[in-house]
A and B are shown apart, each in its own frame.
Chain A
């Protein structure tokens, strides 16, 4: 999609307007938690377990306490907060939910688990003090691999249970066995979707400020979900929710890792209570590698039954999800999202799914960009290529034969979802055209002449986002709703404040919410201020994750704008002395139908509503409206990504020569922001495909805690991307929007891996695990040749 990034467009829906937020961020004027300094503030550092599993036999803090500038050393014994379950997720019921102490109680279960907390005058002294806390450990047996954790006799992560099984999610359709029995071929594939470290540019950080006299607690924290955090802080710290205020200043990325409630957030509040001063903690980068949740970590076993023509008749999916040592906010629900999307965008009605979740002695896993759906998409898209290969059918053709067709929408999936809309052939056709799929074999021959392997890979995806209808979250055992809040307030001068329950941390809501406001209410883009991320200003907000902000929060805003506009209409009719039915909306004013000289601009009406000199009967002063919008359904973005790679057999390096993405996210508010989301999403998918992997040694040590070992791609690793869009508006909301925050990541990894497998298919290579680092590719080539 050709977007001119160099000129400032108008500021309504659909315009590629430059982001309001950019100036402060690119000039270094953003204000993050670490920029905040409260009077009398102290600093915290954590002593963390160096063992994957160990019993703490003693903690000696004398040397730390003797260090000048150290105020306190807190442990489980001295930290005045309750131990509890820090998860809101219980899919299917009966999920094993071990309690987490804020600081380890007796047994540490993963490297990096917080054992003690040192409070000092500054960050450096706090760290020095932490190094002086002497903890004696008695190491216990460790299990890090989820499959091994479920074997009989595996070390138990939690001794109170008889196994490491957290929960088994199952879903079987009645006709599955018969359908599988009728398949003319059954193809099997094992896919390891490796563990990843989310790596937001801003690490986590928080400041707790407990006012003893009033019992008020203010927590400044880098989060995606301020209100969730407030609810949990009040429960864990034993104070009234009404006395807790959670403030999120600018947040430098989250990717789902900040969709959580972390022990450190409770710890700084409790510590502030204990020492009587504000306490700040800023996570350092190596801490971020072990103390913040990880993503993915799912091993999948596929078994698919097909006809000779390549039509899928039955699909069996058996997976093991590594939950880590505890369940965090949504851990047990992440693989439930995988379950939903197992069939992908294919018309598969006979299905058998089992996902076993396991405790291991590793950092807990939870939502990471895509959260469960990239796992499903990567697996099924690898499987489609395996089917194509087995049957000798082209990779695009095999997908086409199995696509859900446009006339089947709304489509009831075998996993219980209702796909809203989509045109998968259209995505595929556009992507094949843009990538010159038809001309590929000639390019392959060119590479072969140079001694290189060239391959092309497809990934066609659908995802479920716009989380979520509250009745559905309740049915899924998530102890929280899925609606969103908005308030639109017009000031006497005709400017607008928009208060949103969404919590942007890079998504540009200040810009796109202003665009919606301009189009729907006629207030110019630059006259709109968007407020978010402060529980003092919002009745409640569910936050930003799961590509929900626009499809849920944007609609909450749309509805509030409509309410204000309708109220303005009544006021205008009253002031112009005519009937409401005689008014027409011009886009910026209400006028008497056909009489432009008899009109009131929205600004004039804002003033009139404030002065309240003359209001119609039954109308309250001030143009302001609030909405709590609960979506009727999820939304279902889709797309086709095509990747072309060249592999150097000497080194195993994969070079991406060409990357094409055609995405359908429904209607677009700001094409510039959508393109940015697609670019960033693809790069994260590329990171998983080529570079990133969080590695544990058998003994529980984490081998990739810094960016020396954990390879995040840089700009120099990113190929040029050709983006395009198709549009099937979502029928589930009045703006017809779907969501684009995670789509790039969901689509990308399989396209890249499929391209690499295709490149090496001539050697007999049928599958490659991620990350496809050069050494792995070189090994794959050697094994194929030998």
Chain B
């Protein structure tokens, strides 16, 4: 658990960070995923650029019909944000339950998305909430739907040289909630489900059941077609094939998907 030799720089502006990443450095945000991977030598970047010295990457504010969340905003701030609680309760739920207090005080929303761990809580809730990310690279800024960001294990559609600068969450009036299951009190999520219920119907997404966070399309379709919750739960795992692991079998994870979809739906409905 000793990282290999590397070059460390701390950027003081987004442009400086982008230049470093474009030159091959790996961006370091809260370090809650990258650092363990480096210590295990699963990641061995020759250079890292620390984003913690860039003030404009931190903070939560309203911007017209969206909430703009700086990529370096820590989970604890998101969990405590009344703005996010009011408009995207499931994101606040997820942020408040990630790892341990220590992790929530260091880990960031941008880091969680960029790392793209298939068991992360944050990406699934942002997908269900219809959020987008702003990425900045050598060729300028672009907007990516959260749903289009993560492609598979630890892999995103970010271009070389791009970093996530902001997450934009719609200021919706949806009722929403996130429910997850983990083995120990402080542990990685086995399966998590985020549900948003609004005038435009139900949106739901899950983590821990594929190589990336996934929309629960069959579940949404039943409910949006006027079907019952029981029918929706019966179809929740349609098209989804979780991986068996030490944390459970395929059948168990499919079952949990239903249990958690019901729980999240129930909590969202009661809000």
Q: Taking A703-B246, A775-B252, A778-B255 as contacts, is the C-beta distance between A717 and B184 under 8 angstroms? A: yes
**Distance, CA A708 to CA B255, complexed state (A):** 23
Q: Which of A123, A650, A703, A779 has the most CB of B within 10 A?
A: A650
Residues of A within 8 A of B256 (CB): 651
In the complex where A651-B256, A714-B186 touch, is A124 in contact with B2 (Cβ < 8 A)?
A: yes
In contact, A711 and B183 (Cβ under 8 angstroms): yes
Shortest CB–CB separation between residue B179 and chain A, in angstroms? Answer: 11
Chain A residue, CB-CB nearest to B259:
A650
Known contacts A131-B4, A709-B246, A778-B255; is-contact A651 B184 (Cβ 8 Å): no
Q: CB distance A778 to B184 under 8 Å?
A: no
Residues of chain B within 8 A (CB-CB) of A778 are 248, 252, 255
Q: Which residue in A123, A128, A703, A774 is a CB contact (below 8 Å) of B248?
A: A774
Q: A124-B5, A691-B184, A716-B185 given as contacts; is B246 within 8 A of A779 (CB)?
A: no
A45 close to B184 (CB less than 8 A): no
Question: Residues of A contacting B2 with CB < 8 Å?
Answer: 45, 123-124, 127, 284
**Could you count the A-B residue pairs with CB atoms below 8 Å apart for me: how many are there?**
63
Residue A588 is within 8 A (CB to CB) of chain B in the complex: no
Answer yes or no: A135 CB below 8 A from chain B CBs. Answer: no
- For the complex, would chain B's binding face be called helix, strand, loop or mixed by DSSP majority? loop
Interface residue B238 (Cβ < 8 Å from any Cβ of A):
no
Which chain B residues in 153-207 approach chain A with CB under 8 Å? 181, 183-188, 190
Q: Does A285 contact B (CB under 8 A)?
A: yes
Q: Please state if A691 and B183 are interface contacts (CB–CB under 8 Å).
A: yes
CA A457 to CA B95, docked complex, whole Å:
37
A731 at the interface (CB under 8 A from B): no
Number of residues in A with C-beta < 8 Å to the partner? 33
The answer on a CB contact under 8 Å between B185 and A714 is: yes
Contacts of A706 in B (CB 8 A): 40
- When distances are taken between beta carbons in the complex, the residues of chain B under 8 Å from A286 are 1, 40
Contacts of B187 in A (CB 8 A): 711
When the two chains form their complex, are residues A651 and B186 in contact, meaning their CB atoms are under 8 A apart?
no
Contact A128 B4, beta carbon cutoff 8 Å = yes
Is the CB of A695 closer than 8 A to any CB of chain B? yes
From residue B221, how far is it (CB to closest CB) to chain A in Å?
24
For B184, what are the chain A residues with a Cβ–Cβ distance below 8 Å?
Answer: 691, 711, 713-714, 716-717
Chain A minimum-CB-distance residue to B39: A284
Q: Is A335 an interface residue (CB 8 A)?
A: no
How far apart sit A130 and B75, CA to CA, in the bound complex (Å)? 37
Query: In the assembled complex, how far is the CB of residue B249 from the closest CB belonging to chain A, in whole angstroms?
Result: 6
**Which residues does chain B contribute within 8 Å of A651, judged by CB atoms?**
181, 256, 259
Closest to A652 in B: B252
Are A704's CB and B246's CB within 8 A?
yes
A784 CB to nearest chain B CB (Å): 15
Q: Which residue of B lies closest to A774 (CB)?
A: B183
Q: B41: which A residues are within 8 A, CB to CB?
A: 127, 131
| Selected contact of A774 from candidates B5, B40, B181, CB within 8 Å | B181
Interface residue from B1, B188, B259 paired with A285 (Cβ < 8 Å): B1
Residues from chain A with Cβ under 8 Å of B1 in the complex: 284-287
Tell me, rounded to whole Å, the shortest Cβ–Cβ distance linking A708 to chain B: 7
Cα-based distance from A337 to B251 in the complex (angstroms): 41
Task: For residue A563, give the distance in angstroms from its CB to the closest CB of chain B.
Answer: 49
Contacts of B247 in A (CB 8 A): 773, 775
B3 on the A face (CB < 8 A): yes
- Bound CA span A706–B1, Å: 10
Q: How far is A158 from B255 in the complex, measured between Cα atoms in Å?
A: 45
Q: Which residue of B lies closest to A691 (CB)?
A: B184
5 A-B residue pairings within 8 Å (CB atoms): A45-B2, A124-B2, A128-B4, A131-B4, A287-B1
